[in-house]
């Protein structure tokens, strides 16, 4: 992968809603969407937050209360994608740096 391709991926990653993201679950265990950061613990509802309504909450993917939403496993994959991609890009850049050092050795 070229440095330009890595830079393009990182640029897109840097423009998205801050992560981590979370797959919401309905009371019956279906996927109710994917949302971003909140400014309160997960056991506190947004409207009960000291800064209600929760200003940091951001809906990433909206579903129809879980009726037509993705599988929870798919939503979990999507929700973890920003963090996973950032980690993979970091590992790739570190690998590229190591290869350059090894290539420079006699």
Q: What is the pLDDT of residues 16-53, one digit of tens each?
A: 877 778 787 788 888 878 877 766 666 666 666 565 55
Q: Domain of residue 57: give its range.
A: 3-104
> For position 96, what pLDDT does the model report?
92
Pairing of strands 31-35, 59-62: antiparallel
- Look at residue 66 and tell me whether its pLDDT is greater than 60: no
This model's pTM is above 0.85? no
Number of domains in the chain: 1
Tokens representing 80 are 């973890």
């Amino acid at each position: 992968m070229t440095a330009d391709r890595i830079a393009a991926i990182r640029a897109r990653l840097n423009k998205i809603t801050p992560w981590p993201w979370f797959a919401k679950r309905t009371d019956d265990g279906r996927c109710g969407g994917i949302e971003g950061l909140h400014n309160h613990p997960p056991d506190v509802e947004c409207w009960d937050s000291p800064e209600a309504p929760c200003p940091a909450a951001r809906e990433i993917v909206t579903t129809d209360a879980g009726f037509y939403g993705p599988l929870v496993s798919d939503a979990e994959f999507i929700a973890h994608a920003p963090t996973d991609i950032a980690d993979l890009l970091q590992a790739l850049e570190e690998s590229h740096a190591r290869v350059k050092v090894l290539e420079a050795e006699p």
